[in-house]
Amino acid sequence: MRFKRAFKYCCVAVVSLAGAVFAVPGPALAHHGTRASYDLNPAGERTFTATVTEFKWANPHIYILFDVTDDKGNVVHWGAETHPPYLMSKHGWFKGMLKPGDQITVTVFPSKAGTPVGLLSKLVFQGKLLIDDEDARITGGPQ
């Protein structure tokens, strides 16, 4: 009887420990560096005149979703990732600063996978430069 009880507690402890070990690295591994996802060659930057469809003010990065009309007249849905809200708020950004329908000029480092997403490099809204990530151009993107 003692053996069964001890075995039961031992199994519960092992399963709990294994769950804790595998649960912790998940969030740490979920966020990867931008160098892995985007072509950070300044010569490869792409600039668009676009219409905002959504502005996501969230951690770990702010996302701007926008529509672009390609050379064939087709609307392509793009997304741009930038720094986290706490950092962008130091540059005057705030939740709700961009709304669906807003016209922007956006420059991104495109995805290495060829998908319509990019790392934000430059953003102009209502004739005002909101960000020009010159450091990203010089150093090849955020670290």
Q: Tell me: the pLDDT tens digits for 105-133?
A: 999 999 999 999 999 999 999 999 998 87
Does 38 lie in the same domain as 18? no
pLDDT at position 137 is 54
Does 121 lie in the same domain as 108? yes
What is the pLDDT confidence band of residue 28, given thresholds at 50, 70 and 90? very low
Does 69 lie in the same domain as 135? yes
Who has greater pLDDT, 10 or 102? 102
> Is it the case that residue 88 has pLDDT exceeding 80?
yes
CB of 84 closer than 8 Å to CB of 62:
yes
Range(s) of the domain holding residue 19: 1-30
Who has greater pLDDT, 27 or 98? 98
pTM (predicted TM-score): 0.73
